[in-house]
């Protein structure tokens, strides 16, 4: 089993670190809110560190699961004095490909591997150990880290070189944005037309309209229940990253840009912490 550090114990990071501990790894955690780290350590019989460098000292793997580019850069700067000796750093934050490439180069200069490894599956996926992981980096480092990441994952894929994992996560979020808006409009139309929505879903869910979002979210969307963990604030952050990357590479994302503004409307309605399926609330307003 491995000696690992896990930095960032939010709704995703805390259960992911828990799966590592349950799989027999020696886990040291750090979180900006130290009380959360101490509570995690007490629950999982792990260790809580006072700072990122202390958490990472003498470990084989360092996992990051943070908020945005500035958070990742700050934490990397703080842990940098402790990195070396063939360590592998795995960043599960959804951040920019440019940052991933920068930290890959900084890590390599110290003999350390860096994998950008954003995740998909939401809070439920983290809690159930069923996350999808999209990775960018060297194949040898990926093959070394993959068995450790398997503790909380159902699918782990090396997409390509450094930054490719982050770009793949943007593809994921672009697709989700369009699907959720389409499902929201379909459900809204069905209600306005006076149809039995459950019967409609039963009729169409086995055909081309089927999606994970339809299967798992249609009922709660109709019932105005938006408490599934992945907040609108975070989705807007992810879409910002995707739109910035599109401006750089020349991709045209008109629907994504439009849906991003719809999520801005949800924020203005007080739904910043609602989950991404809340787009239907804008149509019902």
Q: Which residues are catalytic?
A: 169
Q: Measuring CA to CA, which residue among 95, 103, 11, 33 is closest to residue 62?
A: 103
Q: Are 163 and 116 in contact (CB under 8 A)?
A: yes
Q: Measuring CA to CA, which residue among 93, 61, 48 is closest to residue 74?
A: 93
Identify the bridge partners of residue 231 per DSSP, sorted by sequence position. Answer: 275
- Kindly give the residue spans of alpha helices, DSSP state H, lying in the chain: 13-22, 34-44, 52-56, 69-79, 97-108, 122-128, 139-149, 164-192, 197-204, 212-222, 232-249, 254-268, 279-284
Collapsed DSSP state (helix, strand, coil) of residue 163: coil
Alpha carbons 262 and 249: distance in angstroms, whole number: 24
Q: Measuring CA to CA, which residue among 61, 12, 18 is closest to residue 43?
A: 18
Q: How many CA atoms lie within 13 A of 123 on its CB side?
A: 11
Q: Are 156 and 133 in contact (CB under 8 A)?
A: yes
Q: Measuring CA to CA, which residue among 108, 77, 107, 237 is closest to residue 166?
A: 237
Alpha carbons 87 and 106: distance in angstroms, whole number: 13
Alpha carbons 40 and 280: distance in angstroms, whole number: 36
């Amino acid at each position: 089993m491995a000696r690992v550090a896990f930095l960032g114990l939010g709704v995703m990071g805390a259960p992911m670190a828990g799966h590592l501990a349950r799989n027999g790894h020696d886990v040291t955690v750090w979180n900006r809110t130290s009380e959360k780290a101490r509570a995690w350590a007490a629950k999982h019989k792990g260790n809580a560190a006072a700072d990122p460098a202390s958490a990472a000292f003498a470990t084989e793997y360092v996992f990051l699961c943070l908020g945005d580019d500035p958070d990742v850069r700050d934490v990397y700067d703080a842990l940098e004095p402790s990195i070396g000796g063939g360590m592998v750093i795995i960043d599960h934050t959804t951040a920019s490909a440019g940052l991933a490439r920068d930290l890959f180069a900084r890590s390599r200069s110290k003999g350390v591997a860096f994998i950008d490894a954003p995740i998909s599956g939401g809070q439920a996926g983290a809690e159930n150990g069923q996350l999808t992981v999209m990775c960018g980096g060297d194949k040898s480092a990926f093959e070394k880290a993959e068995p450790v990441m398997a503790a909380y994952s159902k699918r782990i894929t090396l997409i390509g070189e450094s930054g490719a994992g982050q770009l793949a996560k943007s593809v994921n979020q672009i697709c989700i944005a369009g699907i959720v808006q389409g499902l929201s409009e379909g459900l809204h139309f069905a209600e306005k037309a006076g149809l039995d929505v459950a019967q409609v879903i039963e009729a169409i869910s086995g055909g081309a309209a089927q999606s994970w979002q339809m299967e798992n979210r249609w009922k709660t969307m109709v019932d105005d229940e938006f408490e599934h963990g992945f907040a609108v604030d975070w989705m807007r952050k992810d879409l910002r990253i995707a739109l910035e990357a599109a401006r750089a590479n020349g991709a045209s994302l008109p629907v994504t840009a439009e849906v991003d503004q719809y999520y801005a409307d949800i924020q203005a309605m007080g739904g910043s912490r609602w989950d991404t399926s809340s787009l239907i609330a804008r149509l019902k307003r």
